[in-house]
Amino acid sequence: MRSLLAAAGLVFASFSVLAQPGTLERLKTLQADPVALKAAVEAGRKASFFCANCHGETGISKMPEVPNLAGQNPSYLLEQIRKFGSGERKDQFMEGLIKVLKDEERVQIALFFASQGAARSKADAGQVARGKELFAKLCTRCHGDGAHGNDQYPRLAGQNLVYLQTSITRYRDGTGVRNNQLMSIATATLKNDDIVAIGNYLTQLP
């Protein structure tokens, strides 16, 4: 669990260099072929067996401090896999797991988790309206109006509440393993109550 907590920057990170051209091209080729895509998703289900203990069998974590992977953009997931494999993201446990994967397996795992239905959790209804207001003001430019993200920015909709609050707080305070200038700027003025509100808004989004 420690290693996955260290990896907790997953769904808030942005990146300037996409996944290695060969794997990204392969991902797009599979996406364009429904039959091949179906086979790749099934292969990804099998290849991702070691992820289930922390992230859940379908990418929906049962541990509130560990991020959901289901419904993330496959290009975004593939880039995070690449970063762990190259050591750009520092985590001994994740690095070791990713390094044993072949390029094709990395693509398959990204496609598998991306194909799974995203989570949606209950929230404090009294916090949602305030959270929506803050999100619209600070976050939509990168994460989108519905917080679904894209190939560069992660999906936040339906993410675990505890994980969301912890990650936002770490970016604001500069106490996380990973830092991001845009996130630091966006979260700088947030009070603890604001972070709670944003987390409640995001976790209940479809």
Q: Model confidence over 172-182: pLDDT tens digits? A: 999 877 778 89
Long-range own/partner contacts, residues 6-9 (CB < 8 A, 24 or more apart): 6/90, 6/91, 6/94, 6/177, 7/67, 7/84, 7/89, 7/91, 7/94, 8/65, 8/66, 8/67, 8/163, 8/166, 8/167, 8/170, 8/176, 8/177, 9/89, 9/167, 9/176, 9/177, 9/178, 9/180
- Pairwise CA distance, residues 7 & 90, whole Å: 8
pLDDT band with cut points at 50, 70 and 90 for residue 120 = confident
How far apart are alpha carbons 147 and 153 in whole angstroms? 9
Which tokens hold the place of 104? 């094709």
Positive or negative, the Cα torsion across 104, 107, 111, 114?
positive
What is the mean pLDDT of the segment spanning 156-172?
A: 96
- Rounded to two decimals, what is the model's pTM? 0.87
Q: What is the pLDDT of residue 1?
A: 43
Domains and CATH numbers, the chain: 2-115 (1.10.760.10), 125-203 (1.10.760.10)
Burial 76-105 (b: 16+ CB within 10 A, else e): bbbbbbbbbbeeebebeebbebbeebebeb
Q: C-alpha distances in angstroms, 88 versus 16, 104, 156? A: 13, 20, 22
Confidence of residue 95 (pLDDT cuts 50, 70, 90): confident
Going through the chain in order, the beta strands assigned E by DSSP cover: none
- The per-residue pLDDT of the chain, averaged, comes to 89
